[in-house]
Structure 1
């Protein structure tokens, strides 16, 4: 297939493009601007400059000769955007692309949303699943849900994927901060934090996206939560990260407030609370198995980030 990937210059976009190329697909990378020489695109990708993504983006050239579209483009940092700008990119940009794809006769379309459309936390012993009513609690999550609705209205054959936190070699954001904390060679007071946090290894994420394209139309018109095959508590996660780095866990009981102090109130709250996801319907519907278990995923992540001097 000849596949258009938006957001191809970002963390997930680069990993996805390399994965698709490795599986024999052609990849056209939709970019806002040319990539700098210091961070070239993976070899074999065909760049096309589309400018800022929004309601006025002209997608005709980018979609010429394309068989499938994967829409990843999304503001990586929402802190500097007002809500109007966030909605213009997230919602109006998605609907413009979906309509252009429909006009071009392209039925294979994957819209990458977020598990956050379901809410911010799950109570103990409870997981979000695909049958739950979404309850977005932030502007970003609300606009992600609105984008889902508008894309499916314009292109009913589209597939919506709702991943949780995506991690892996080179991941930034909250996971990078957590990894730096985990690798401090001191005891950490997290042994008593018995929550559940959904995460998705980047290698599993890109394989799931490819599976949607290759099993279309089975995946078409549906919304799926995604998750790794195993969920860990914060204490288990930090312990396994340390073991992956060849260290002892060194976890001791302590108040959750210390973690909030170390990571900041918002990141600390998210890591201490539970966010559990049941993604079994995706695997059952598409006959898909995770190519990486969590032990492999964490080991690859720690090794790569250690080599990069984290």
Structure 2
């Protein structure tokens, strides 16, 4: 068990240049209780941070000299979900990084006396969708079928097994869709849509989605660094306020001060249109529900999301607008 006394705790974060990693570093390095080391694939400089370079995280990575004297590892690095993956064997590639690479780090960490290993997993381990009003919980028996989700699931299982046979504590966090300043992928696509004065046909989508702002995710990670009751547990994390795709778009419109209308096209017609253009997977994400229950984190850790959805979206949009403006000025 990690003491909660005011002592200096040596933290190591992998994936320092990733979306979660870079935001987590900015928060952690401001905390005088922590001495921070980060791992990246290329040489970088970060003020007041000890930077280490590991070219590739896999089953044969040499962690010697990197994890010495570390108390807690937060493992954010991963081979992320790839749309239209062209690899000849995607499952092997995902397993090599996300499963075997994670276990190699964790086993080496246990041998080095690391006290806690915080693994940033994925909502995909719990499911691709949920029934409206029936959120996913941490004790579901779902086994993912896609390579990315399966590799994360297998890493979770093996980490928990490792913890049974070592002194190192394991904590697993499964984020929902993460957004915040500099977000990419689907959330950035939606902001690009809404930033233009063009009506969108998504005004009648009656689903529910759990989202998590990067600030709320980091808040939970910070708690899990030292909280004694986090030991051996899996936690879902979201903003505490599930919203429909239509409501999300309305909040984005408001943040952009965009007066374009949101047209209430029937969901069945939207689904048909996406199917006709070969985007059925995207339709499922846009129209389907995917909710998670964060009661466990609230009850066990006495944690609640400190940042509201509205404030988090405003912050994300503000950064998006500033970035676009700077890019236009450079060009």
Superposition TM-score, scaled by structure 1 size? 0.92
Q: How far off its partner does 1:262 sit?
A: 9.1
Q: How many residues are paired up?
A: 304
Q: How far off its partner does 1:248 sit?
A: 3.4
Corresponding position: 1:211 with 2:223: yes
2:244 is matched with which residue? Answer: 233
2:6 is matched with which residue? Answer: none
Structure 1 unmatched runs, 5+: 36-40
1:292 is matched with which residue? Answer: 307
Q: Distance in 2 between matches of 1:76 and 1:42?
A: 24
Q: Distance in 2 between matches of 1:155 and 1:48?
A: 26
After the TM superposition, list the runs of 4 or more consecutive aligned residues in structure 1 that deviate by more than 4 angstroms. 258-264
Q: How far off its partner does 1:119 sit?
A: 1.4
Q: Distance in 2 between matches of 1:174 and 1:307?
A: 19
CA contact (8 A) 1:118 1:128 kept: yes
Superposition TM-score, scaled by structure 2 size? 0.87
CA contact (8 A) 1:98 1:155 kept: no
- Report the 3-state secondary structure (helix = DSSP H, G, I; strand = E; otherwise coil) of the residue aligned with 1:256: helix
1:135 is matched with which residue? Answer: 143
Change (3 A) 1:251 1:104: same
1:49 is matched with which residue? Answer: 53
Q: Distance in 1 between matches of 2:262 and 2:278?
A: 17
Q: How far off its partner does 1:59 sit?
A: 1.2
Change (3 A) 1:260 1:66: farther
Alignment of structure 1 residues 1-310 onto 2, 5 Å: 1-24=9-32, 25-35=34-44, 41-76=45-80, 78=82, 79-81=85-87, 82-156=90-164, 157-215=169-227, 217-248=228-259, 250-254=261-265, 255-257=269-271, 258=273, 264-309=279-324
- Show CA shifts across 1:256-290 (max 9, x none): 24567899443332121111111121122111121
| Greater shift in the superposed pair: 284-293 or 132-141 | 132-141
| Greater shift in the superposed pair: 244-253 or 158-167 | 244-253
Change (3 A) 1:284 1:272: same
CA contact (8 A) 1:282 1:288 kept: yes
- Show CA shifts across 1:134-182 (max 9, x none): 2313111111010001112223420011111111010001111111112
Structure 2 unmatched runs, 5+: 1-8, 326-331
